[in-house]
Amino acid sequence: MTGATWIEGVVLRYGTFYGPGTNFSLGPEGAMVEAIRKRHLPLMGRAGGVWSFIHIEDAAEATVNAIERRGRGIYNVVDDEPAAVADWLPVAAQAVEAPAPRRVPRWLGRIFAGESATVMMTEARGASNAKAKRELAWTPRHASWREGFATGLG
């Protein structure tokens, strides 16, 4: 929502967190990584849902910038590369030395994972960080989940 000049505060909409201390990490709290390793996170249907990611350190920096610069409005705090599940999930599996994800038909995924998870895996739309970069003078250090998964899950 651009032009939200009537808003007196700031709203930060974060992408999927990854990195230390998150559920998408190599640590004990890494439930998402564990699901990938156990092949419990399949490619559903065409796996066309587009996710936006953000490394936890980049999220913290954007939050500080929003407070210090007195951001006003709604900002997407995400990296520069929204990606379809079909693109990011195999790369994530490789990054954590897991087997390639299984592929299941959408209808089967819906039975086992439910409607919300199915929509996330097949229909979600990514987000742009252009406004946050422009107005909060912020640039993610992990510009792409690709390099972030390779170096920033620990």
| One-character DSSP codes across 59-120 | HHHHHHHHHHTT--EEEEE--S--EEHHHHHHHHHHHTT-PPPPEE-HHHHHHHH-HHHHHH
**Residue predicted with more confidence, 5 or 14:** 14
For residue 149, what is the DSSP state? Answer: H
Q: What is the pLDDT of residues 44-67, one digit of tens each?
A: 999 999 999 999 999 999 999 999
Identify the pLDDT of residue 28.
86
Percent with pLDDT over 90 in the chain:
84
Mean predicted confidence (pLDDT) in 73-78: 95
Mean predicted confidence (pLDDT) in 33-48: 96
Q: What domains can you pick out in the chain, each with its CATH number?
A: 10-151 (3.40.50.720)
Distance of CA 38 to the CA centre of its chain: 20
